[in-house]
């Protein structure tokens, strides 16, 4: 299975992904293929909808190791927010400063079906929030402030 990363404005990026009900061979195959797809195009996270598969599967990379999470959910977000620059494999060359909660508590399943619950902050919190957004059809451009959107629009008009 070879998966191709869909680029904006591919309509699949706006679709909501379905829960993974059973961890079977198909899910394992998709997960492996997603890891391959991500490897071939540098990035530190990937959501299944980005390869046209509408299932709640994400990859989060930590220290060069890709980890698969199924049905990830944010349980809690810190009130404290921070601004970090984000990129997205569906928007090659676009890097945007996005404000999001600094720390989140997440739950998910791993490929062995084990329940995972953890608090993450910094870059990890960033990746989880960005990728979970993808599963809901939300893109990082949606998280810009109105002022950033206006600036971006004007830039496009000028270019």
Which residues are annotated as catalytic?
131
Min dist. Cβ of residue 89 to Co ion (A): 6
Quick one: tokens of 8?
A: 């904006």
Min dist. Cβ of residue 46 to Co ion (A): 7
Interface ranges with Co ion (CB under 5 A): 88
Residue environment code for 121-150, b if the CB has 16+ CB neighbours within 10 A, otherwise e: eeebbbbbbbbbbbbebbbbeebbeeeeee
Judged by beta carbon, residue 20 or residue 128, the one nearer Co ion is 128
Count, residues in the chain: 159
8-state DSSP, 17: P
Judged by beta carbon, residue 48 or residue 108, the one nearer Co ion is 48
8-state DSSP, 18: B
Judged by beta carbon, residue 17 or residue 88, the one nearer Co ion is 88
Min dist. Cβ of residue 45 to Co ion (A): 7
């Amino acid at each position: 299975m070879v998966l191709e990363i869909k680029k904006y404005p591919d309509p699949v990026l706006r679709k909501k992904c379905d829960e993974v009900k059973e961890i079977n061979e198909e899910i394992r195959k998709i997960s492996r293929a997603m890891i391959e797809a991500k490897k071939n195009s540098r990035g530190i996270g990937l959501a299944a909808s980005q390869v046209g598969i509408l299932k709640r599967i994400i990859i989060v990379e930590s220290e060069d190791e890709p980890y698969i999470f199924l049905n990830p959910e944010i349980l809690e977000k810190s009130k404290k927010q921070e601004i970090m620059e984000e990129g997205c494999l569906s928007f090659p060359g676009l890097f945007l400063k996005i404000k999001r909660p600094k720390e989140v508590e997440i739950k998910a399943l791993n490929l062995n079906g084990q329940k995972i619950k953890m608090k993450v902050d910094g870059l990890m919190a960033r990746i989880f929030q960005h990728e979970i957004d993808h599963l809901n059809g939300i893109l990082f451009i949606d998280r810009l402030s109105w002022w950033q959107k206006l600036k971006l629009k004007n830039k496009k008009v000028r270019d």
